[in-house]
Chain A
Amino acid sequence: MFVYDYITYSQNDTEELGKRFSVALEPGTEVAMYGGLGAGKTAFTRGVLRGLGYEGTVSSPTFAIVNEYRGSRLDLAHFDMYRISTEEELYGTGFYDYLDGRTAVFMEWSENIPFAVAEDAVKVIIEHGAGDVRHIRIESPKEIAI
């Protein structure tokens, strides 16, 4: 396991880190994100999508549960597991249909679905510091260049 630690000082910083991280993404990559309300999970994912060349609005999939983005290099499914806790509920979101090897799957609130986090998933763990400071740890089974 390769562990990378970062400190960001603003939402823009977090987005920028996501943008750099996007280079490491491959079709089928699962990214399990951890961190409470306002941690910056969506900002990070927005950065990833900017890195993939997506220019449109990126918002938290709190109500839709999943937002889908079609990219030229890969597709991305952005999940919010805040209201998901059982496997039946997860199945009912269509989650397993996205594990098709073509789609990068980002999961906010992965705390809620430990049973569905793949062993080879990349973990992005965001912790609050003082003010807008965030400590972001990326754990990857493969070495990544960010």
Chain B
Amino acid sequence: MIILGVDSSSAAGSAAVSKDGKLLFESYANEGLTHSQTLLVRCDEALRASGIRPDQIDVYAVTSGPGSFTGLRIGMGLVKGMAFTSGAMCAGVPTFLALAEPLRDSGRDIVTVLDARQKRAYCSAYRSLDGELMRIMDECVVLLSEIDDAVKSLGIVSPVVVGDISAEVSLLIEGAEDGGEEFRFVHAGNVCAAAEAMALGGQLCTADELRPFYLQLSQAERNRIQKDRED
């Protein structure tokens, strides 16, 4: 299976090509240029470098969120456009899964966090077990002051923390370890790897069905934050 993976869910942007689970090429940059100008160029570069023609691509994969509003739409738009012309299947890879992917075989609990501003994190968690990543925390918005309790209540012990605010969050969770610089941002090679697993699990969709995933606050969370602000 040949997969073209794309990520533009944050300030970093990347494109990668994998074949049968093996990463052939990845183009990654976090130089602050806009994805709308660079992402398609990266796809072209990745395909040329790996000697793959567009009509050979079986699956187009893209991070589906949460993440930058504009970034997600650029990635989605690009992948939908490319997949639509060939009719290839797509994989909407949750940003958290792409972040946890390099730790698939680690045997660890992985807490994935992204900055949700105002002392909050978008958060999820995975458990690496027998080469599988099991999601053990539903994607949610959590106050940083409560993240330790949230993680403990799920029986997560000594996790690795990955994502853009992992350095800060790893200090808040008892026994946690910061995954480090390598794990702060999504790399498209991991989008390919996660998509390969999703394909095996029958989780692909058509270009038309592909949707960005914006994590919204529930009304209860909104009320709570409003209350905290007033206190």
Q: Which A residues are in CB contact (< 8 Å) with B70?
A: 94, 97
A86 to B218, CA, bound (A): 13
Q: Which B residues are in CB contact (< 8 Å) with A93?
A: 69
Q: Which A residues are in CB contact (< 8 Å) with B223?
A: none
What is the interface of chain B mostly: helix, strand, loop, or mixed? loop
A 77-117 to B, binary, CB cutoff 8 A, 1 in contact else 0: 00000000011100111101100101000000000000100
Interface residue tally of chain B, by bracket? 10 to 19
Closest-by-CB residue of B relative to A92 is B69
Closest-by-CB residue of B relative to A95 is B69
A102 B217 Cβ-Cβ under 8 A = no
How many A-B residue pairs have C-beta atoms within 8 angstroms? Tell me.
25
Counting chain A CB atoms within 10 Å of each CB, the highest count among B11, B70, B118 belongs to B70
Q: Among the listed B69, B217, B222, which residue makes an inter-chain contact with A97, where contact means beta carbons less than 8 Å apart?
A: B69
A97 B117 Cβ-Cβ under 8 A = no
How many residues on A have C-beta within 8 angstroms of the other chain's C-beta atoms? 12
Which residues of A (18-55) have their CB < 8 Å from a CB of B?
A: none
Q: Which A residues are in CB contact (< 8 Å) with B68?
A: 96-97
Which residues of B (52-82) have their CB < 8 Å from a CB of A?
A: 68-71
A88 B217 Cβ-Cβ under 8 A = yes
Which residues of B (191-229) have their CB < 8 Å from a CB of A?
A: 214, 216-217, 222, 229
**Residues of chain B having any CB pair with chain A under 8 Å:** 11, 32, 68-71, 117-118, 214, 216-217, 222, 229
**Residues of chain A having any CB pair with chain B under 8 Å:** 86-88, 91-94, 96-97, 100, 102, 115
21 A-B residue pairs with Cβ-Cβ distance under 8 Å, sorted by A, are A86-B222, A87-B117, A87-B118, A87-B217, A88-B216, A88-B217, A91-B69, A92-B214, A93-B69, A94-B69, A94-B70, A96-B68, A96-B69, A96-B117, A97-B68, A97-B69, A97-B70, A100-B11, A102-B32, A115-B118, A115-B229
